[in-house]
Copies of this chain bind each other. A is one copy, B any other.
């Protein structure tokens, strides 16, 4: 069973905006075994939208539209669908009443213009909107279900889950889509691909997608089968040899990011963590503390952007910095050890490096040292990252978390 999505709004045709509603809808539809085969983004243009709707209903079994249901002149979805499907728009006074009541609850009066939102396509089911004024509409048009949904993500999600999911479940085929995601640290995208392509290219089902982040590769396998058992069987058949090839570079099989995995390991081993960041300027700690409940293991840390701060806050010997430089194995080690001593944390992770634009020392851009101090001493890892400031910082934070993961596992 195929669906297509039409996102409506001129702002979605500017260089600043992407249509994210369709990602949510795709995820929901895939969960029902429904594939999305096409996405279209059109501006607030009645004729153009009508022709997109005509094409969509001619080839897809479900057509979902988001946006353009507001009360203003710009909101053309209702009229365009009426035009495309050859149906009248009928005024529903009870919808106006509901909108009026909504305004009244907020102590406001409904503007006359909101009556536009009470025009419903002939034969459509009205989908109540519990988070906004625009009701949705569901039209069975021949063999095709046509859904008009609001654009604001909160309104869309509420309406989809309450009103559309139950209806779609009845229409959905006896097909399931199941997926698995391996997250990998310490390898580049092309290296991952080269390693596992001999396995996954033998299969079109499951479909394999490799997504690359900063030092963080996701391998998605997606199986489409008649039964859940069959889908999970295929995922095991292809996933097991891929897991064997990637080995301990896989840090997560649940799709969770590395800061969540490291957090669980710290919690399990009842260990605490402190950081000492120079180059990354808080980015490592921000990731650690983005995890709800991280206060159970994260004590705190030091941002030492200058040499004087490294000495004042972390007791790094100024002579050591003078001898080896702030971007050095020795400084990274002293920072990690200093942070551990000052906080009493079980582990302390330090990052020092050159992220540009210019390095005060003779170290090439991207030179990075990461220290991990713990009960069994301090290790320092050196890397040379490529790219701009933000890429170097993101790679360094990811590697620091991966080094801590490896230490915790050891």
Q: Is the beta-carbon distance between B304 and A300 smaller than 8 angstroms?
A: yes
Q: Does chain B have a CB within 8 A of A156?
A: no
Q: Is the beta-carbon distance between B37 and A38 smaller than 8 angstroms?
A: no
User: Which of B14, B35, B222, B389 is A222 in contact with, Cβ under 8 Å?
Assistant: B14
User: Which of B14, B35, B48, B51 is A26 in contact with, Cβ under 8 Å?
Assistant: B14
Question: Which residue of B is nearest A281, CB measured?
Answer: B289
In the complex, chain B residues whose CB is within 8 Å of the CB of A289: 280-283, 303, 305
Interface string of A20-61 (1 = CB under 8 A from B): 100110110010000111111111010010011001000100
Q: Does chain B have a CB within 8 A of A408?
A: no
**Bound form: Cα–Cα A15–B299 in Å:** 36
**Bound form: Cα–Cα A290–B286 in Å:** 13
Q: Does chain B have a CB within 8 A of A384?
A: no
Residues of A within 8 A of B (CB): 10-20, 23-24, 26-27, 30, 35-43, 45, 48, 51-52, 55, 59, 207, 209, 211, 218, 220, 222, 275, 277, 280-286, 288-290, 292-295, 298-306, 308-309, 312-313, 342-343, 356-357, 389-390, 393
Can you show 17 pairs from A to B with CB atoms below 8 A apart?
Answer: A13-B26, A14-B209, A15-B30, A17-B211, A18-B18, A18-B19, A37-B45, A39-B41, A280-B286, A281-B282, A282-B301, A282-B303, A289-B303, A290-B390, A299-B306, A301-B302, A302-B302
Q: A11-B209, A313-B313 are in contact. List 15 more A-B contacts (CB 8 A).
A: A14-B26, A15-B23, A17-B209, A38-B42, A55-B55, A281-B286, A281-B290, A281-B298, A282-B284, A282-B301, A282-B303, A286-B286, A299-B309, A300-B305, A312-B342
